[in-house]
Structure 1
Amino acid sequence: MSNTNNKLFNKNFFLLWQGQTVSNIGNQVFSVAMILWIKHVTNSAELVGIILMTSTIPAVLLSAIGGAFADRYSRRNIIVISDILNGLGVLSLFALMYFAPESINLTIAWLLFLSCFIASVNSFFTPAISASVPDIVPGEKLAAANSLVQFSLQISLFIGQGLGGILYRLIGPVVLVFFNGFSYIFSGISEIFIKIPQKIPEKSESLKSRISKFKEEILEGFKYVWGYSGLKKLVLLSTMLNLFTTPIIVLLPFFVEDHLRLSSDWYGYFLAIYGLGSMFGYLIAGILKLNGIARRNTIIASIFIESALFGTLGFMSMPLVILFISFFAGSMNGFVSVNVITILQSTTKSEIRGRVFGFLMTLSGAMVPLGMGISGFAYELIGRDITLLYGICAIIMSALTIIFSFGEGFRNYLAQDISSTIGDSVIQSELSDSENKTEFQGLEPVKEKIISK
């Protein structure tokens, strides 16, 4: 669906972007405040871990369903309803904390439920957002739009982590909970005025046929991703990189305190600098007009460099050098993230885009708890040698990047000329003989132009 407005900050994108920025900042401040509140009232690290874990499970279970919803129903309505529901849920926690401050156990139980509830709602919300952006910005500005969306998420995280603790101490958790609930409501109301072009499938007559059709559409999303060599390999590489990156992040506190012998403050410094690097990468990805082979080679090189940089951490002892590595690795990550999202959005038809992103969320979400579980076990297994563990993870990620980069389908997929496909988004990947026989309702694949190496 072509977007006729040539501005990046047209009304629709601006309303979506500013609403999400406000709610993201509120959510990050809320997250920090709730972790501190739980620690102060229970002093239980296990409870903090349980609540964090419950926020990862719904993405694994519901994202594929959420993606199918984003293709079958109004994406604008999904976005608006999701923000309103999250806002009402958070405001219910505010009411409980304000009117019954002595009910600690009830508040903790409700917070546990709310954590799972918000994560479940976001499993529908996130695919709808990812599927909508290409239809409300000019095709040639899609990379810049994704850069701004990712920048908003990162700056929200940065502000939330930086101000959350200070605001918790100054104004208390109850006010912060109210602010987060209000930010969701504000975002939802502003999004009512967004117009998102979308072709919504006709509804089946009976409930049974609707359910049957819905199941078919979810399966169609899996088949769509798995039916293209380049897209399938990109998904597999991303999933495996997530798995082996998780131990590096999870064990970072042990790296800081036990390996470097630094205070826990440096853990925050390294995360903050990595976040700044990511924002720099988002900015570069939005400015550089790379396409075709140049973009493909830059993406592959960036993935390899980031993987290798993680491996050097264990051999470093100077904090300033590690800060530089963190910034550079974050820059590589930010640049790759924006470009990969842009390729996925621009080469996938709008009618199935929600299911594709839902499927990706399911896979990536599954890797986080698995990686967390592996991290502690592997760390103890090798005698708490974090240099060795970081090195192993980096070698595996680097090797995977090299192996996948030799695949013709993978290379061709990353090198597509997306400027000609955005708007009327069609997948353009080289199909094998068996893939040529694959058919999707209204989503017939188009072979890509073979790009010379």
Structure 2
Amino acid sequence: MRPTEDTKRWVIPFFTIWTGQSISLIGSRIAQFALVWWLTETTGSATVLATASMVALIPEIVLAPFSGALTDRWKRRRVMIFADTLMALAALWLAYLFWSGSMQIWHVYVVMTVRAVGNSFHWPAMEASTGMMVPKSQLSRVQGINQTMRGVLNIVAPPLGALFLDLLPLHQVMMIDVGTAALAVTPLLFIAVPQPERAAHEANTSVWADMVSGLRYLVSWRGMMVFIGAIMLLKIALSPAFSLLPLLVRQHFQGGAAELSLLQAINGIGVVAGGLVLSLWGGFRRRVHTMLAGIALLGVSILALGFIPPHLYWLALVSIFVLGFMVPMVDGPFMAISQACVAPEMQGRVFGVMGSLLSITSPISLAMAGPISDRLGLQIWYLAAGGICVLIGLIGSRVPAIMQIEGESEISPAATAAAVNPERV
């Protein structure tokens, strides 16, 4: 089954599901803010917060290829229902623990792990479903809307979380997450999500074989591997640029919490603005041009943060706005290209592998950025990261494998042969 260009057949069902999922994200962010604040007040330990972050990250890295393979075997609608329900039950358990006064630190680690497991199933299922429900010509616009929503969440969720913490006890804050999850599940109970037909040769294969076939699909498709490799390098350069912002504000610009919050808010506004522009404009005719231009300009904005002198804080605000504006111009086309080019019946397992590869960049980049910044100075990382991004944007336009990715057939012949015939790899 293929997406149709007839908007009457896709807009209402897709955005009904999308709205429920977006409302659920708001509830999850509110609950996450409250939970992190509870950890901060209870322990005051950076180690505890770092451990909670790692516990939330590791399951997604490990499970994503497995969950992606299962997504291709199961009904994707059911996978999303399962994932949303699992995360809602975890929030319900938290609500009970806070209500009964039995909440402990290790409970947070368990819930973070459960939520990470749910997300490892939900992300490939939702992205693969989007590729089936939305016409290819509209994928960039939809991804622009997704990016706008993420920017809005970054701006709105923290103050909403703080507001609800003032108004409600913690167990009721957790129940907000449960209620919004119900709004995400409800449309999925009534709206059909297209499911690609499973290939005949895969009828009796194991989950492990499906995982391997997804990896073979990527490895044998040179253009897609180069494409993903460029994004991984971008993520390694970019992630610490956000994580190091508190130190940049405090040590370089001699600012405090107010200056940091303003910088983060301006970045969020930039993400919203970029997402709105992408959703209305749709990007250049060839999505790869939008992505590479976005990477280069994003690199320029990071370079600027490394060059701006301490007394020109306002220039940092301009730079961080441009950085935020360019993020949707990179992430949106990247996902749109992936959804358009990867065969529908392979998207779950391929997106699972992609999710694992992209997630592993965070611990790698943070492990590198800390020692480099401590030894050589904070500005060095911003200069190096910005330079890397600019080079990716410029060199990528000269790499045929990247430039021709949208011109390749939806099912790469080499990738299909490798997935079907393992001995050829």
Task: Give me the whole-angstrom Cα distance separating, in 2, the residues matched to 1:7 and 1:331.
Answer: 31
Shift of 1:336: 1.8
Residue 3 (structure 2) aligns with: 3
For 1:234, the equivalent position in structure 2 comes to 227
2:34 pairs with 1:25: no
Matched, 1:440 2:414: no
Contact 1:71 1:200 in 2 (8 A): no
Q: Given that residues 69 and 348 in structure 2 are in contact (C-alpha distance below 8 angstroms), is that contact kept between their aligned partners in structure 1?
A: yes
Q: Which moved more, 1:113-122 or 1:140-149?
A: 140-149
Percent identity of paired positions between Structure 1 and Structure 2: 23
Deviates more, 1:387-396 or 1:349-358: 387-396
What are the superposed Cα offsets for residues 261-298 of structure 1, whole Å, 9 maximum, x if unpaired?
111222222222212212222222222244555x4333
> Contact between 1:304 and 1:398, CA under 8 Å: does it hold in 2?
yes
* 1:77 matches 2:78: yes
Question: Residue 311 of structure 1 aligns to which amino acid in structure 2?
Answer: L
Corresponding position of 1:133: 130
Determine whether 1:276 maps to 2:255: no
Between stretches 333-342 and 262-271, larger displacement belongs to: 262-271
**Do residues 344 (structure 1) and 341 (structure 2) align?**
no
Aligned counterparts of 2:148 and 2:10: Cα–Cα separation in 1: 15
1:91 aligned residue: 92
Is 1:12 the counterpart of 2:13 in the alignment?
yes
Task: Provide TM-score, normalisation by structure 1.
Answer: 0.86
1:81–1:253 distance in 2 versus 1, CA, 3 Å = same
For residues 110 and 173 of structure 1, what CA distance do their matches in structure 2 show?
A: 14
Q: Which residue of 2 aligns with 1:264?
A: 257
Quick one: which amino acid aligns to residue 72 of structure 1? R
Structure 2 distance, partners of 1:77, 1:356, is 19
Check 1:255–1:291 CA distance in 2 against 1; reply closer, same or farther (3 A cut): closer
CA distance in 2, matches of 1:373, 1:289: 36
Amino acid at match of 1:221: G
CA distance in 2, matches of 1:198, 1:9: 14
1:309 aligns with 2:301: yes
Q: Cα–Cα, structure 1 residues 275 and 427, in superposed 2: closer, same or farther, change >3 Å?
A: farther
Amino acid at match of 1:183: T
**Is the 8 Å Cα contact of residues 373 and 380 (structure 2) preserved in structure 1?**
no
Change (3 A) 1:8 1:397: farther
Query: 4+ residue stretches of structure 1 with deviation over 4 A?
Result: 202-205, 289-293
Q: Is the 8 A contact 2:141 2:282 kept in 1?
A: no
Alignment of 1:298 with 2:290, yes or no, is: yes
Query: Any idea what SS the aligned residue of 2:419 has?
Result: coil
Corresponding residue number in structure 2 for 1:403: 395
Contact 1:282–1:335 under 8 Å retained in 2:
yes
Query: Could you tell me which residue of structure 2 aligns to residue 379 of structure 1?
Result: 373
* Counterpart-to-counterpart distance in 2, 1:203 and 1:175: 49
Match of 2:173 in 1: 176
- Letter of the 1:302 counterpart: G
Cα distance in 2, alignment partners of residues 289 and 84 from structure 1: 33
Residues 73 and 200, structure 1, Cα contact 8 Å, conserved in 2: no
Instruction: Write the deviation string for residues 109-156 of structure 1: whole angstroms up to 9, x where unpaired.
Output: 111100011001110110000000122223332222222233223322
What one-letter code is carried by the residue in structure 2 that aligns with 1:332? M
The secondary structure found in structure 2 opposite 1:314 is helix
Answering whether residue 155 of structure 2 is matched by residue 163 of structure 1, we say no
Provide the C-alpha distance between the structure 2 equivalents of 1:203 and 1:181, rounded to a whole number of angstroms: 40
One-letter amino acid of the counterpart of residue 298, structure 2: E
Name the counterpart of 1:329.
Answer: 323
Distance 2:46 2:416 in 1: 53
Task: Report the TM-score, using the length of structure 2 for normalisation.
Answer: 0.91
1:39 alignment partner in structure 2? 40
**CA 1:201–1:369 in structure 2 vs 1: closer, same or farther (change >3 Å)?**
same
> Match of 1:59?
60
Q: 1:19 to 1:289 in 2, by over 3 A?
A: closer
How far, CA to CA, are the matches of 1:162 and 1:272 in structure 2? 11
SS of the aligned residue for 1:13 comes to helix
CA positional deviation for 1:167: 2.2
Matches within 5 A, 1:107-146: 107-146=104-143
> 2-side partners of 1:66 and 1:437: how far apart?
21
| Cα distance, 1:9 vs structure 2 | 6.4
- Give the helix-richer structure, 1 or 2: 2
Which amino acid in structure 1 is aligned with residue 383 of structure 2? G
Query: Structure 1: 5+ residue runs without aligned partners?
Result: 443-453
Determine whether 1:389 maps to 2:389: no
Contact 1:147 1:282 (C-alpha < 8 Å) held by counterparts: yes
- 1:448 is aligned to none
How many correspondences in the alignment?
418
CA distance, structure 2, for counterparts of residue 226 and residue 342 of structure 1: 20
Q: Which whole-Å CA distance do the structure 2 matches of 1:38 and 1:437 have between them?
A: 48
Is 1:284–1:335's contact at 8 Å kept on the other side of the alignment? no
Q: Does the CA-based 8 Å contact 1:21-1:153 persist in structure 2?
A: no
Q: Tell me what 1:185 maps to.
A: 182
Aligned residue number for residue 404 of structure 2: 412
Tell me, in whole angstroms, the C-alpha distance in 2 between the residues paired with 1:281 and 1:298: 12
Partner residue in 1 for 2:239: 246
Counterpart of 1:320 (choices 314, 332, 336) is: 314
